[in-house]
Structure 1
Amino acid sequence: MFMTNTNNKTDVLGPERRRRWSIDEKQAIVAESFMPGQSVSLVARRHGLNPNQLFKWRKLYQEGSLSAIAAGEEVVPASELASAIKQIRELQRLLGKKTMENEILKEAVEIARAKKWIARSPLLPGEDQ
């Protein structure tokens, strides 16, 4: 296999031919494909790309993933992000519910102590003997 590097683009020559595009090059090609009068097929042909590859780059660009890769950030699919946000909201709801239950139980113990319904007072967390 023989590799050449020209202008941040690496061609791998051998059984299969593969080019590596820098993030800047990908972003420039994607931007060009969004210009008025340009089609994905035309821009892809001009740069020696398969149109499907350019469509994939455009999708990543629209999701913000193409720029995240440029910044060295981890890319998380939108579906995973939505699922994580949903799980966080559910956990926040449960935490609120448990906090409220805890407060109600503390008040009940205080009332029971005041009315001497509790013969031997259990200590609440954080109380001294």
Structure 2
Amino acid sequence: MAPQQRGSDGRRRFSTEFKREQLARVDRGELTIAELSREVQIDQSVVRRWKHLIERGSTTAVAANEDVVPASELRVALQRVRELERLVGKKAMEVEILQAARDEVKKKPRWYGVSKR
């Protein structure tokens, strides 16, 4: 039987490495998709989906129970997250500086800096 894990929903989950190994066997002509599906006890359409996703380069899932996305899309999304986190950090520093300046202004008496006529 194949190396697998069961998800919280009870469905079997196969690793990307396992899928690649099995599809390599099919590509080498060791067995057909039908034979592989019987051996692993999954539908042929699942094996064809594995093949399609791997050919597209879509082998990285963001999390369990989510659709598989291309690694390039994931890389772009992670880069965008890093950029947004950097901007949030910069804005947080600006807020802290402005709050500190406001607090300093509040500490000084109102008449401070006002000329008496």
TM range (shorter): 0.3 to 0.5
TM-score normalized by the length of structure 2: 0.47
Larger radius of gyration: 1
TM-score normalized by the length of structure 1: 0.44
